[in-house]
Amino acid sequence: MIRIKALDKGFNLEIKDIPSDKSISHRCAILSTLSDDTSIIENYLEAEDTVCSLDIIKKLGSKVIREGNRLMLIPSSKKMDYENIEFYCGNSGTTMRIFSGLLAGLLAKNDGSFSLSGDKYLMKRPMDRIVNPLKEIGCDIEAQVDNKYPPVIIKSAKIKSFDIKGSIASAQVKSALILAGLQADGVSYYEENIKTRNHTENMLIDMGASITSENNKITIHPMTKPLKPLNVIVPSDPSSAFFFAVIACIKPDSSVVLKNVSLNETRIEGFKVLEKMGANITYENISSTKEATGDIHISSSTLNGVVVENNIAWLIDEIPALAIAFIFAKGKSVVKNAKELRVKECDRIMAVVNNLTSLDVNVKEFDDGFEVIGGEFRSGEISSYGDHRIAMSFIILGLIKDIDIDETDCINTSFPNFFELIERLRVS
Ligand code: S3P
């Protein structure tokens, strides 16, 4: 057990070193293999999840050279032997799912076979959501346990062009299919029922891929030659920044400036919900690039309850931290339509509800969400359930009133300098 001690006063701080965006970093590693030239990535996220993606491209023959905060990703120039390669994806669903699409594409042009596994948490996460559609379009792929769970085995692929309507709002599934579509035998289409984060499309278009996206329908033309390399400066991750937005809102006499954060509209809905609750938030120095970035200013706020039921994919990773803000809001807050939370790094509805209940918060569980009545809570013990976002959300609560938490190593999957930044709040 680790005790998180409450802050004894408010803070005023500018944070320049919120970790780099995890989603964009994974995609830099994965997509770099579609070029035959060197991709240059500044501020790649060096955390456990995204290092797994780098380890995988190394196994595929890429060289990874670090020079200060720059990463050079140099794809293999010689023909590789893809026979029986085993990849370890750690805790990262993004790695396992998006690489499955890329690897299926590789086997459309080469012989070989791949298997993907991960840590004990990832081995319990559903992979049928990528395996079934990839199978449908001609891949010999299976999720070995109960046709649902890892390891994922890919043996060959003859990818037929497709027209798929996605049934799950998932950027990982969409990305896997786009990557498979790049190696299909004709033009393919993938339609989302709800728009999800669009970094894969944005980056592939920058690399010269023939992809268009209109009204949530993506048209994918097969690749006829290697793509241009990536040249990306990765901004800070809004999902990591969000923990500090919440503590600035709920701690009296506090303010924080979160510098150079991704402001992609599909990523900042959590901040928009805080604004709807009455939070003092402004956005400054906004870039006019396709992937917008900027600084987010937040200060102590009086919050009201809110109903969160739309654009869930745009704030799915922020919901555990939002649940903490709900405790400090006047009245009832509700999350609905968020069943996807049950298949994240842990069942996040169960984790949030169990932890809040053990702290005497007035909380009710639904199949697809939960409800919190703002008010008092007590000090107590909680579990991270091995999930980085559950751990960080409840540590933020511990900064208001002491909390004991069982395990925090999981934070290294996305936010290695989290405790260092928490210590900075204490001395600012
Ligand atoms: C991610 C997509 C989301 C998100 C995850 C990262 C991505 O998952 O929860 O943390 O980088 O594509 P789903 O695609 O499963 O919704």
What values do phi and psi take at 40, rounded to 5?
-120, 120
Residues ≥6 apart with Cβ < 8 Å to 68: none
Which residue minimizes the CA distance to atom 15 of ligand 1?
170
Lining ligand 1 with CB less than 6 A are 23, 26, 94, 170-172, 197, 313, 316-317, 340
pLDDT tens for 281-320 read 999 999 989 899 999 999 999 999 999 999 999 999 999 9
Inform me whether the pLDDT recorded for 11 exceeds 90.
yes
Q: How many Å lie between the centroid of ligand 1 and the Cα of residue 172?
A: 6
Q: Please choose, from the candidates 178, 242, 234, the residue with its C-alpha nearest in 3D space to the C-alpha of residue 20.
A: 234
The atom number, within ligand 1, closest to the CA of 317 reads 9
Of the listed 21, 237, 295, 317, which one is catalytic? 317
* 2-20+235-427: CATH, from 3.40.50.920, 3.30.470.20, 3.65.10.10, 3.30.870.10: 3.65.10.10
94 alpha carbon to ligand 1 midpoint, in Å?
6
pLDDT tens column, 332-356: 999 999 999 999 999 999 999 999 9
- 214 CA to middle of ligand 1, Å? 21
Q: Compute, in angstroms, the gap from residue 5 CA to the centroid of ligand 1.
A: 32
Q: What pLDDT is recorded for position 428?
A: 86
pLDDT of residue 214: 95
User: Which residue, 314, 319, 50, is CA-closest to 197?
Assistant: 314
CB 357 within 8 A of CB 306: no
pLDDT tens digit string along 92-133? Answer: 999 999 999 999 999 999 999 999 999 999 999 999 999 999
Q: Which CATH class is domain 22-233?
A: alpha beta
pLDDT at 382: 98
CA distance 51 to 388: 16
Structure confidence at residue 125 (pLDDT): 98
> Which atom of ligand 1 is nearest the CA belonging to 26?
11
- For residue 246, pLDDT over 90 is answered with yes
Domain boundaries, the chain: 2-20+235-427, 22-233
In this predicted model, what pLDDT tens digit does every residue of 135-192 receive, in sequence order?
999 999 999 999 999 999 999 999 999 999 999 999 999 999 999 999 999 999 999 9
* Residue 387 known to be catalytic: no
Query: Distance between CA atoms of 395 and 312, rounded to whole angstroms?
Result: 24
